[in-house]
Amino acid sequence: MSTVIADRAERLAKWRAVIAVLMGTALIVTQGRRMDDGGAGPISWIVTGLVVVAFLVWASGRFRSSLLRHILNDESSDLNRRRSLMIGFWNMLATAVVCYALTFLKDYGPRDAIQIIMTVGISSALISFGVSERGSTRS
């Protein structure tokens, strides 16, 4: 195994963690702002979806060498990924419950509710993945 590839995988993993946190935060901020303007439109969601998919493809190292991909997605990264997916899933469920309870207090449509649920789920998964990946590198 080339040390050059190992170094590159290390750098890529660091960037991946930083970008995941930044993307998660940016998603919450932008979607939160749009809530005041009547919610995000379909184009906004398509763009957001494409950016997230592009990040996931890049982060998985799909178009890189198999060796680099193997180091990038090793056991600890796989565990962090599974944990963050679980966190995103449970946060989505909890947000759905909160949205349901809010319908008794405030009048808002299903589009708003879906936007809130999706934003919380995706953002929390991205942020938790980034934080746990960064945490793994500290002694």
Nearer to other proteins, 72 or 113 (CB): 72
CB of 78 to other proteins, least distance (A): 10
Shortest Å, Cβ 65 to other proteins: 13
Minimum CB distance to other proteins smaller for 23 or for 68: 68
User: DSSP states of the chain as a string?
Assistant: --HHHHHHHHHHHHHHHHHHHHHHHHHHHHHHHHHHTT---HHHHHHHHHHHHHHHHHHHTTTS-HHHHHHHT-HHHHHHHHHHHHHHHHHHHHHHHHHHHHTTTS---HHHHHHHHHHHHHHHHHHHHHHHHHHHH--
Residue 11 or 111: the one with the smaller Cβ distance to other proteins is: 11
Q: Which residues form the interface with other proteins (CB under 8 A)?
A: 1, 3, 6, 9-10, 13, 70-72, 74-77, 79, 133, 136-139
Comparison of 36 and 75: residue with beta carbon closer to other proteins = 75
Tell me how far, at minimum, the Cβ of 139 lies from other proteins, in Å.
Answer: 6
